[in-house]
Structure 1
Amino acid sequence: MGLALKLVLRAVERPLFGLRRPITPWITQAVCRLALVIMRLPLHIQGHPMRQRGAIVANHASWLDIFVLNAADRVFFVSKAEVADWPGIGWLARAAGTVFIRRDRREASQQKLLFEARLRAGHRLLFFPEGTSSDAQRVLPFKSTLFAAFFVPELRDILHIQPVSVTYHAPQGADPRFYGWWGDMDFAGHLLAVLAQHRQGRVELVFHKPIEVAGMADRKEIALATEAAVRAGFSAPA
């Protein structure tokens, strides 16, 4: 029902506002909050989402990250292009305004322009610099490629990047990696396992202080700075 409402509103929103989306992100946030309630997965948040223009970066552990991070803030995800073709999930991702990219150096310039267009439209993007999901037990090294778009002269001085640490705590007695979804794990099987869990664990988000892009020398420096912040706020589950 929430998705149907969003599609109707987007049909009105697009001709009036173009690339900007001042209405529909609120629907996405409400749907994701409801999804966590249905899954009975408690969400604990420290800190506050930034109000400045720019992007959020976080460690990536599971498909649950989409619901958790959207429930906490109105953002637009950046995802690998293959997700657009996934049954069900791809359609939902497109409806939510996800930015799809191909990890191909030959398309790096085109991806950069796409990022710039969304940032100029005032979208707060969210991407996972690790480049892949983990087993929810660690933070992987951050790749610097996607940070390049923030350093164009007309954007650099007005943008911030906010690091966010995501920590999943498995249900009591379950494998500590219970919520992690990585490698070639089956989505449907993992989804059913989470939904079937009688007593859930919890997930914690830590919103760190936003980093001014203008205060960083280049994409590699800001990648290292955001990775350090995410690691500092990540509490490795016991």
Structure 2
Amino acid sequence: MSTWAQVPPPPKTRLDAWGWARALARLAVLGGVVYGGLAVFLVLRGAEMALASGRRALTPYLTQAVCKAALVVIGLPVQRQGTPMRHIGAVVANHASWLDIFVLNACQRVQFVAKAEVAGWAGIGWLARATGTLFIRRDPAEARAQQALLEERIRAGHHLLFFPEGTSTDGLRVLPFKSTLFAAFHAHGLDKVMQIQPVSVIYHAPPGADPRFYGWWADMGFADHMLKLLAAPRQGRVEVIFHAPLDVADFPNRKALARACEAAVRAPFPPIPEGY
């Protein structure tokens, strides 16, 4: 997995006995919520395949409910501003952490676009495949085929969500958006019918914690990061801001569209604290 590493992460947190107790207790409940939800999801998905011609009529609502419950277990409140669009199109957001998956799924019903290697991650890969994640490879030889898959999903009415930064960060900043995937939205007349909705995800650390508390980047291990979050006696909060959707037809090319989305996502971020 490629990661952003311009700024080194803080030292690993050493847990005391109470921290371990909190982390393991929350992990047990979280595992029950997520994998219990996955079991129900697979049953419902089978019914959709048999009775609804494969159309995801019910499972997106279950995914949203499970993610909301997971955030309650973690203790992380979400403050939502704006309204998820209903128009045909896609969603783009900044990427700070694996938590983004829970946060963004809790706020809207979407299907993610992820790097191909995510499919092989233990635990996470199973969940991603089950919930309809579209996996792509960063291979120029496959770019045209991947754009065709994006177009097919969008024309089918799916709201695909992807992270144009291409990597997770410390949560304090927005990296330049890569424009590659935006090319699919200017193909075969799709630009005439679809919109892109930029979304800002802004994490606020618990009182007294490092402002990068929720960021997951560089060589930070997934298990270590999860344990640190679950062990925290108090959590912070996360803001999710849905900006006005942009008409793809208003932009002459993918680069202009990517720049406009990046500007919208970056706008509400507070100044980066001195020293970070």
| TM-score, with length taken from structure 2 | 0.84
**Equivalent in 177, 199, 223 of residue 212 of structure 2:** 177
**Equivalent in 258, 261, 266 of residue 223 of structure 1:** 258
**Equivalent in 204, 210, 226 of residue 239 of structure 2:** 204
CA contact (8 A) 1:20 1:123 kept: no
Structure 2 counterpart SS, 1:153: coil
> CA offsets, 1:32-52, max 9 Å, x none?
000000001010011110111
**Residue matched to 2:172:** 137
CA contact (8 A) 1:2 1:27 kept: yes
Question: What amino acid maps onto 1:197 in structure 2?
Answer: A
**Residue matched to 1:9:** 44
Give the direction of change, closer, same or farther, for the CA distance of 1:18–1:130 in structure 2 (3 Å limit): farther
Q: How many residues align?
A: 238
Structure 2 counterpart SS, 1:5: helix
Which has the greater radius of gyration? 2
Report the CA distance between 1:236 and its aligned residue: 4.4
Aligned counterparts of 1:20 and 1:162: Cα–Cα separation in 2: 23
**Residue matched to 2:136:** 101
CA contact (8 A) 2:48 2:54 kept: no
Report the CA distance between 1:16 and its aligned residue: 3.9
Is residue 2:105 matched to residue 1:70? yes
**Could you list the runs of 5+ residues in structure 2 that have no partner in the other structure?**
1-35
**Residue matched to 1:48:** 83
**Could you list the runs of 5+ residues in structure 1 that have no partner in the other structure?**
none
Report the CA distance between 1:18 and its aligned residue: 4.3
Give the direction of change, closer, same or farther, for the CA distance of 1:180–1:9 in structure 2 (3 Å limit): same
Question: What amino acid maps onto 2:122 in structure 1?
Answer: P
What is the identity percentage for the equivalent residue pairs of Structure 1 and Structure 2? Answer: 65
Report the CA distance between 1:81 and its aligned residue: 0.4
**Residue matched to 1:124:** 159
Report the CA distance between 1:237 and its aligned residue: 6.1
CA contact (8 A) 1:79 1:127 kept: yes
> CA offsets, 1:27-77, max 9 Å, x none?
000000000000010100111101111111000000000000000000000
Give the direction of change, closer, same or farther, for the CA distance of 1:236–1:12 in structure 2 (3 Å limit): farther
> CA offsets, 1:146-172, max 9 Å, x none?
011111233221110000011001111
**Residue matched to 2:28:** none
